[in-house]
Amino acid sequence: MRTKLLPLLFVAVAIGLWSLVSSLQIFSNLVLPAPWEVLEGFVEEAASGRLYQDVVASLFRVTIGFGLAVILGIPFGLWMASQPVLRDMMLPVVNFFRNLSPLAWIPFAILWFGIGDAPAIFLIFIAALFPIILATFAAVENIPSVYFRVANDYGMEKGEILRKVTFPAIAPQVITTLRVTAGLSWLVVVAAEMIAGNDGLGFAIWDARNGLRMDLLVSGMIVIGIIGVILDRLLVQLTKIPGVRWGYEQ
Amino acid sequence: MSSKTEEPIIEISQVSHAYGSVRVLENINLKVMRGEFIAIVGPSGCGKTTLLNIISGYENPDEGSVCRRGKLSMIYQKDGLFPWYTVSENIELSLRHITKSEQRKKQTLSAIRLIALEGFENHYPHQLSGGMKQRVELARALSGESDILLMDEPFSALDYITRLKMRGELVTYLRERPRTVILVTHDIEEAAQLADRVIPMSSRPGSILQVREMTPPRPRSLTDPAVTNMVGELLKLLNLQNGHHVVNIKKGEDHAL
Amino acid sequence: MLYKHLKRWALGALLFTVLLTFLRFEPWKFEAFQNTRSLKIIDVGFLPVTCHLTCPVTDYASQTSDSYRYDSQRFQDFPTMVESIRGGRLEATFMIVPLAMKLREQGVPVRIVYLGHRDGSTVMVRPDLDIADLRDLRGMTFAIPSKYSNQYLVIRRLMLEQGVEPEEINFIEMPPPDMPGALSAKAIDAYFVGEPFPASSELSGEGRILYHVKDIWPNFISCALVVHERLIEEHPDLVADLVRGIAESGEWAEENREEAARIAAPYFRQNVEVVRHVLMSPPDRVSYRMLSPTDQELQLIHDIALETGILEREVPISELLDRRFIPDDIRPLQIQ
């Protein structure tokens, strides 16, 4: 109860203060739009159907880009951990790319993929891929060797070990990384949509800025934040799977 | 109650082993009889874990040979249970050869009853105490078809009181499901209380100092004069060899190689 | 246990993806498209600098055909737009004229085929400063959208006339949307940019008009419609259609300014007050007529660009300008 009520209380107080400052008209609306203007802007966006379009566009890009990164990143991380040569060859490379801001890829994203969905998906893919590879790899490296001995003691075959030992052993760490990278993807899609295109929440924010509609800008920010929180809450459910809880409760 | 027979189940002959230039084991010779309880004691770095690994076949000795006439099961100091499996799923690992799931369930249940963890079947290891976890390990090792139980510092991660209790429980379980046991430990008291024969080892390179027969037969109380005498003798013996190690041995802070 | 759960999650993720893909592409609408047979979609790029008001109407123009459709693509900055043109992803765009010249100079085969509008730019200054002309701006900070912008060229020419040296005013490049805010925060002292940003400063009382561009450079050219030669070769009819669409919608906007403001404002998240202000007060603040550029006009811009070092070598106007697609008879678009 307390953890639910306290944030609500804080938000209520913050909005109260915001309303007070706005009604005193200390700042121009260009600097700080009033809460009721933001609400009106939100209603306007929702009623026009544009909000729905933008949310679908952004979610679509994140889902595809992030999904591709998961589908390719986890197997690659496993593969890397299993082949010493590959590991020695790729580890510095993966580390290098992980430390590059995905936004640095923007020019290439546009040159290679043009405008629209593809470059944004590419940027999200790049942003999520390397942390996922690295986390999978590190998780495999960190599995206590005793698990493999036990698996061996009880006569498990190679494929069985992968399914029944390696995979469950890395699951908690990989799930944590998925949560982090999903959040990262959400950050990147908003940034990527600011570059080019004609829909998406990032586009909406920049369009609002160009139109000097600070109310729409703030309502866009709030929508982005809320969806980000919902995505994270959704992925937190992954940590509640009985077979992975040990990774978070030890 | 000693179930010791005159039939050798493990024969270790002239085993020597080195890691690079470090000689870990030097000319180890030992015959273990079926039903016997052997305790190998010694300071950390004396090669007792390496010896256990060689007995289990996990490592091959540089020289010498090991002959086993039975199936093994192993108990580790910690993390031997898969944290992603429940208590019963962990125990079922040793029952994988049973194809009928009904029978497997029945045996799992009887193992859980043996360690008195009814009601915890669907708990995960991280929800159990250290002692409970080691009991599950014991149940798993004892419910398979194995003849030989190898234990590598099984109780050293537990607190002293729990350790005392676990010794008693081990005795009870072995009465139900007799096994040949090789226990590796740095807990002299544990060795003296549980084993038929106690084998102190020196370190670097590890070699067998003596082989001590324990009388009277198991089980023994901790305050049995035979046990306390043996503890004193072992302390003296190891102290003479490696004086500074004794402190560590008593505190149980030492970890296996 | 674990795999049972993971399978359920994988299935959920798959369903989520499929659902989003459906919502994104709305395949149930494709059928309607197919009925009108191979719809050719042409992306038309623009920047929210000065053509912001013509683009909605341009978009409207595309509704007149059932064989092609123009999608306006909003860009945030010139580098991205240039990258898209170089990458072959964008073949038609609104662009500030000196930048088109610069592209041509660098060997990118683009041509100016039409203009977006005339006038429609304003020099704004801080209302609390006593500024009568550029001489009063000596030592002050002056924001321009880009040094490749016509606005900058106009100011440089005006400085020459008023005897102000280039280094006497501190020019900074700034994204146009930030200018009104920067002016009200006194971070800058003046700016020169296309509408509707000056109008918003004026309406909020946080900026004062120093010059309408029509007063210092009549028939000012800001943005031109720039088309890649490939599109001209492959689809001259589409280019002609696009130009006619812009011309007719411009003509319509001239005759229905109030209505144009109402349509354009929500189309691109504009405040309708600001847009009406741009279009109505005064009505000749921005013009959508005479959008055919003359050689002399472009030559003048070219020469100043050369003088100020924006261009490094001459770009023949005859190669740059292509007036073939401009219709002789421009009627107002029929908008219901």
Most confident of A2-11, A19-28, A82-91, C269-278: A82-91
Residues C114, C131, single domain; the answer is no
C1 touches chain B (CB under 8 A): yes
Residue B219, preceding peptide bond in cis (omega within 30° of 0): yes
Residues C206, C283, single domain; the answer is no
**Residue C153 belongs to domain spanning:** 121-216
What is the model's pLDDT at position C53? 60
Q: Under a CB-based contact definition with an 8 Å cutoff, are residues A34 and A23 in contact?
A: yes
Q: Which domains does chain B have, with CATH numbers?
A: 1-70+148-257 (3.40.50.300), 79-146 (no CATH)
Q: Looking at residues B81-91, what average pLDDT do you find? A: 94
Residues C102, C242, single domain; the answer is yes
Q: Which long-range contacts (CB under 8 A, 24 or more apart) does B103-109 make?
A: B107/B143, B108/B143
B90 touches chain C (CB under 8 A): no
Residue to mutate among A30, A212, A219, with most C CBs inside 10 A, is A212
CA distances from C193 to C79, C127, C209 (A): 18, 17, 12
Residue C229 structure tokens: 């030669």
Residue B3 pLDDT class (50, 70, 90 cuts): low
User: Distance between CA A115 and CA C80 in Å, rounded?
Assistant: 10
Contact call for A114 and C84, based on CB within 8 A: yes
Residue B240 pLDDT class (50, 70, 90 cuts): very low
Contact call for C5 and A212, based on CB within 8 A: no
Q: Under a CB-based contact definition with an 8 Å cutoff, are residues A109 and A119 in contact?
A: yes
Task: Flag whether pLDDT at B60 surpasses 60.
Answer: yes
Asked if this assembly's ipTM is beyond 0.95, the reply is: no
CB contacts of B122 in chain C (<8 Å) are: none
Q: Which chains touch B (3 or more CB pairs under 8 A)?
A: A, C
User: Distance between CA B98 and CA B120 in Å, rounded?
Assistant: 22
pLDDT higher for B2 or A16? A16
Residue C323 pLDDT class (50, 70, 90 cuts): confident
C11 touches chain A (CB under 8 A): no
Residues C246, C303, single domain; the answer is yes
Alpha carbon of B169: minimum distance to chain C alpha carbons (Å)? 31
Alpha carbon of A85: minimum distance to chain C alpha carbons (Å)? 31
Residue C60 pLDDT class (50, 70, 90 cuts): low
Among the partner residues B83, B93, B127, nearest to A154 by beta-carbon distance: B93
Q: What dihedral angle (degrees, nearest 10) is formed by the CA atoms of A11, A16, A22, A26? A: -100
Residues C130, C200, single domain; the answer is yes
Contact call for A242 and C269, based on CB within 8 A: no
Residue C283 structure tokens: 């009505």
Query: Would residue C126 count as lying in a domain?
Result: yes
Query: Would residue C244 count as lying in a domain?
Result: yes
Residue A201 pLDDT class (50, 70, 90 cuts): very high
Contact call for A198 and C6, based on CB within 8 A: no
Q: Looking at residues C106-114, what average pLDDT do you find? A: 88
Task: Flag whether pLDDT at A230 surpasses 90.
Answer: yes
Lowest-confidence segment of A96-105, A177-186, C27-36 by average pLDDT: C27-36
pLDDT in tens, A67-100: 999 999 999 999 999 999 999 999 999 999 989 8
Task: Flag whether pLDDT at A39 surpasses 90.
Answer: yes
**Strand pairing partners for B197?**
B38, B213
Domain termination site, one of C188, C216, C244: C216
Residues C172, C296, single domain; the answer is no
What is the model's pLDDT at position A24? 85
For residue C75, the surrounding DSSP H or E stretch is: strand C68-75
Residues C303, C228, single domain; the answer is yes
Residue A228 pLDDT class (50, 70, 90 cuts): very high
What is the model's pLDDT at position B247? 44
For residue C278, the surrounding DSSP H or E stretch is: helix C272-280
CB contacts of A209 in chain C (<8 Å) are: 177
Task: Flag whether pLDDT at B231 surpasses 90.
Answer: no
Among the partner residues A153, A244, A247, nearest to B73 by beta-carbon distance: A153
Average pLDDT, chain A: 89
Q: Looking at residues C77-96, what average pLDDT do you find? A: 81
What is the percentage of chain C residues whose pLDDT exceeds 90?
10
Q: Looking at residues B27-55, what average pLDDT do you find? A: 88
B154 touches chain A (CB under 8 A): no
Q: 181-210 in C: which are within 8 Å (CB) of A?
A: 181, 184-185, 196-197, 200, 204, 206
CB contacts of A204 in chain C (<8 Å) are: 269
Residue C196, preceding peptide bond in cis (omega within 30° of 0): yes
Contact call for B73 and A250, based on CB within 8 A: no
Residue B43 pLDDT class (50, 70, 90 cuts): confident
Q: Which chains touch A (3 or more CB pairs under 8 A)?
A: B, C
Query: Would residue C332 count as lying in a domain?
Result: no
Residue to mutate among A145, A173, A246, with most B CBs inside 10 A, is A246
Task: Flag whether pLDDT at C61 surpasses 70.
Answer: no
Query: Would residue C9 count as lying in a domain?
Result: no
Alpha carbon of C300: minimum distance to chain A alpha carbons (Å)? 30
What is the percentage of chain A residues whose pLDDT exceeds 90?
60
Among the partner residues A149, A153, A246, nearest to B126 by beta-carbon distance: A246
Residue to mutate among B82, B89, B122, with most A CBs inside 10 A, is B82
Query: Would residue C201 count as lying in a domain?
Result: yes
Contact call for A198 and C73, based on CB within 8 A: yes
CB contacts of B73 in chain A (<8 Å) are: 153
What is the model's pLDDT at position B248? 45
Contact call for A154 and B94, based on CB within 8 A: yes
Q: Under a CB-based contact definition with an 8 Å cutoff, are residues B71 and B55 in contact?
A: no
**Total count of domains within chain C:** 2
Average pLDDT, chain C: 81
Residue type present at position A82: S
Lowest-confidence segment of B158-172, B218-232, C108-122, C259-273 by average pLDDT: C259-273
Closest chain B residue by Cα to residue C3 = B84
Alpha carbon of C72: minimum distance to chain B alpha carbons (Å)? 54
Task: Flag whether pLDDT at B36 surpasses 80.
Answer: yes
| 3-state secondary structure at position A80 | helix
Query: Would residue C30 count as lying in a domain?
Result: no
pLDDT in tens, C292-315: 888 888 888 888 888 878 888 888
Residue B119 neighbours by CB under 8 Å, 6+ apart: none
Residues C205, C293, single domain; the answer is no
Where does residue C31 rank: exposed (0-12), middle (13-18), buried (19+ CB within 10 A)?
exposed
Residue B140 structure tokens: 């798993």
Task: Flag whether pLDDT at B53 surpasses 60.
Answer: yes
Alpha carbon of B246: minimum distance to chain A alpha carbons (Å)? 28
Residues C113, C132, single domain; the answer is no
Among the partner residues A117, A238, A243, nearest to C1 by beta-carbon distance: A243
Domain termination site, one of C157, C188, C216: C216
Closest chain A residue by Cα to residue B145 = A154
Residues C87, C133, single domain; the answer is no
Closest chain B residue by Cα to residue A169 = B84
| A-C contacts at Cβ under 8 angstroms | 117
Q: Under a CB-based contact definition with an 8 Å cutoff, are residues C307 and C330 in contact?
A: no
Contact call for C80 and A110, based on CB within 8 A: yes
Residues C233, C316, single domain; the answer is yes
CB contacts of A150 in chain B (<8 Å) are: 74, 76, 80, 82, 93
- Which CATH number goes with the domain that contains C107? 3.40.190.10
Among the partner residues C23, C184, C206, nearest to A56 by beta-carbon distance: C23
B145 touches chain A (CB under 8 A): no
B79 touches chain A (CB under 8 A): yes
Which residue, B228, B230, B244, is CA-closest to B45? B244
- pTM to 2 decimals? 0.77
CA distances from C105 to A131, B38, C273, C302 (A): 43, 91, 40, 11
Contact call for B58 and A169, based on CB within 8 A: no
pLDDT in tens, C138-160: 889 999 987 777 888 888 888 88
Q: Under a CB-based contact definition with an 8 Å cutoff, are residues A110 and A122 in contact?
A: no
Task: Flag whether pLDDT at A109 surpasses 90.
Answer: no
Residue C331 pLDDT class (50, 70, 90 cuts): confident
| Crossing angle for the helix pair A214-236 and A35-48, to the nearest 10 degrees | 70
Task: Flag whether pLDDT at C186 surpasses 90.
Answer: no
Q: Looking at residues B153-164, what average pLDDT do you find? A: 89
Q: Which domains does chain A have, with CATH numbers?
A: 32-249 (1.10.3720.10)
Task: Flag whether pLDDT at A43 surpasses 60.
Answer: yes
pLDDT in tens, C230-250: 888 888 888 888 888 788 877
What is the model's pLDDT at position B22? 85
Residues C46, C191, single domain; the answer is no
Q: Under a CB-based contact definition with an 8 Å cutoff, are residues A119 and C75 in contact?
A: no
Residue B116 pLDDT class (50, 70, 90 cuts): confident
Sign of CA dihedral B79, B85, B90, B96: negative
Closest chain A residue by Cα to residue B94 = A154
Lowest-confidence segment of A32-41, A133-142, A167-176, B241-250 by average pLDDT: B241-250
Q: Looking at residues A152-156, what average pLDDT do you find? A: 90
Query: Would residue C24 count as lying in a domain?
Result: no
C280 touches chain A (CB under 8 A): no
C132 touches chain B (CB under 8 A): no
Contact call for B84 and A171, based on CB within 8 A: yes
What is the model's pLDDT at position C31? 55
Closest chain A residue by Cα to residue B58 = A149
Contact call for A149 and B124, based on CB within 8 A: no
Residue A48 pLDDT class (50, 70, 90 cuts): confident
Domain termination site, one of C200, C216, C232: C216
Alpha carbon of A244: minimum distance to chain B alpha carbons (Å)? 6
Query: Would residue C296 count as lying in a domain?
Result: yes
